[in-house]
Amino acid sequence: MHRGLIVGVVTALLILAAGAVFFSFGGGAFRTAVTNILGVFEGWYGESLQPGASMAHTWTDAERGLIASLSIDRLPTLLPDPSNAVGDDSDAIALGHALYFDTGLSPDGTVACASCHKPELYFTDGKVKANVRGVDTQRHTPSIVGLAYNDWFYWDGRKDSQWAQALAPQETAIEHGGNRAGHARYVLERYHSQYEAVFGPAPDISDLSRFPFAAGPVEDEATHAAWTAMSEEDQRTINRIFANIGKSIAAYTRRILPGRSRFDDYAAAALVNDQRRMAELFSDEEAEGLRLFSGDAQCANCHNGPLFTNGTFHNIGLPLALGDSFDQGRSLGTLQVVEDEFNCLGAYSDATEEDCIELRFIKIEGEELLGAFKVPSLRNVANTAPYMHNGMFADLDAALRHYNAAPPAFPGHSDLNPLALTEKQSGALKAFLQTLSAPPHAPQELLRPPERENTN
């Protein structure tokens, strides 16, 4: 009986002594392994409420590298947009800030950019489809947070700069409902000094016989006819002012960047393998969600990089919403952007041909473009429901169910594979997605309408 006790104690002492020797002299890899094992063991008695807690935060080097690749710490400094010479000009930012919130950029005085891209809703509108006067547009309002890092704009990428994108809703009948001649006149009258501070002397467009109140290549026949009646030179004058309106708005929207989320702190802890800090930041369920996200659930195939998007277009086999007809998506957007007079290679762009690398090497053909839409960032995804280009999923659960089932696309082909996740796993993914929320990173004054005196 005593012999058993003595042998047990001696054996335990030997085990611990061996451990101490390994710590003192062991090689790097072996020591890492031992450290990890002890980390787990420490978790057992240190956080006894959750046996195995630290296993949830144990990652291989490759996994930690992949987690770090998603961190906002890996987001490069925003480079200038070569097509927009005033993109980082403080006067242009101030003018764009005013224009962004100005409902005067719609003939009935009801619609501004901020009507759909609301700062308080992470620059979305919470609606299934964009809708300002009781009429649905074709698609759901995407957030503009961090869009300055994108190469393509709109769900189908039919614009190739933020400033060109900002122009299109201005002339869409069911959005702002304006026209470029009207907008040019409005901005030159209301913001004359601010405009000239950014773009130099404004042209004289007071002659109504040359520059009608309402003229532009829009749906309304009279306004369209007034536009085609103008000389090409006068059209170019209006186009230049119109483009400058877009460039000012883009100077503002470029400033709206994603903030640091709880996930980013977790990624920083994962990078230095600080398991204690990781366990403070993420529940086991959230860590399991991250493991699925970057692993078996294959989310990070497309939702990769610090903005959780590869910036390109994929068909994910979305079913048609009731009453919708098939939406071609990217296969039409490519044709539109190469024809766009406000694209990177166009007369109103400030870029050289060399700068327009995305447009010069745009993929026009390919079955995978059919029914493909831009991969959205997942930052703030929990706060920007509903989801998808057509807003058909009301919540994250519905979106995750789609990825789990991955029905085939028709027409085209879906880039998804069925996942067969359990409910618990889907719950973990959802928990992880909720760690990506953070207020936009932008000067506070840019997150609300400018003071009145700044607009005159």
Partner 1 sequence: MAVRFCACLLISTLLLSACSAVAPLPQVSGDGMAMDSEDKAGMDMSGGSMLADALEPQTTENGLFTITAISRLDPVVINETHAWTLHIETTDGSPVSEAEITIDGGMPAHNHGFPTAPRVTENLGDGDYLLEGMRFNMGGVWVMTLGITSGDQNDVVTFEFELK
Residues of this chain that bind partner 1 (CB under 8 A): 1, 4-5, 7-9, 11-13, 15-16, 19-20, 23-24, 28, 31-32, 35, 41-42, 45, 61-62, 64-66, 68-71, 74, 151, 271-273, 300-302, 304-305, 310-314, 357-358, 360-366, 368, 413, 415
Closest to 390 (Cα-Cα) out of 135, 145, 136:
136
CA–CA gap between residue 325 and residue 313 (Å, rounded): 20
Q: Which amino acid is at 448?
A: R
**For partner 1, which is the closer residue by CB, 14 or 208?**
14
Q: How far is the CB of 260 from partner 1 (least distance, A)?
A: 17
Q: How far is the CB of 237 from partner 1 (least distance, A)?
A: 34
Neighbours of 436 (CB within 10 A): 23
Q: How far is the CB of 27 from partner 1 (least distance, A)?
A: 11
Q: How far is the CB of 4 from partner 1 (least distance, A)?
A: 4
Q: How far is the CB of 282 from partner 1 (least distance, A)?
A: 19
**How do beta strands 313-314 and 373-374 pair?**
antiparallel
**For partner 1, which is the closer residue by CB, 365 or 423?**
365
* H-helix segments, 179-231: 180-190, 192-199, 221-228
CA–CA gap between residue 146 and residue 255 (Å, rounded): 8
**For partner 1, which is the closer residue by CB, 7 or 225?**
7
**For partner 1, which is the closer residue by CB, 15 or 49?**
15
**For partner 1, which is the closer residue by CB, 23 or 213?**
23
257 forms bridges with which residues in the sheet? Answer: 441
Q: How far is the CB of 6 from partner 1 (least distance, A)?
A: 8
- Contact in structure between 314 and 372 (CB atoms under 8 Å): yes
- Phi and psi, residue 316, nearest 5°: -115, 20
**For partner 1, which is the closer residue by CB, 282 or 313?**
313
Give the CA-trace dihedral at 225, 228, 231, 233, to 10 degrees: 130
Tell me how far the alpha carbon of residue 422 is from its chain's centroid: 28
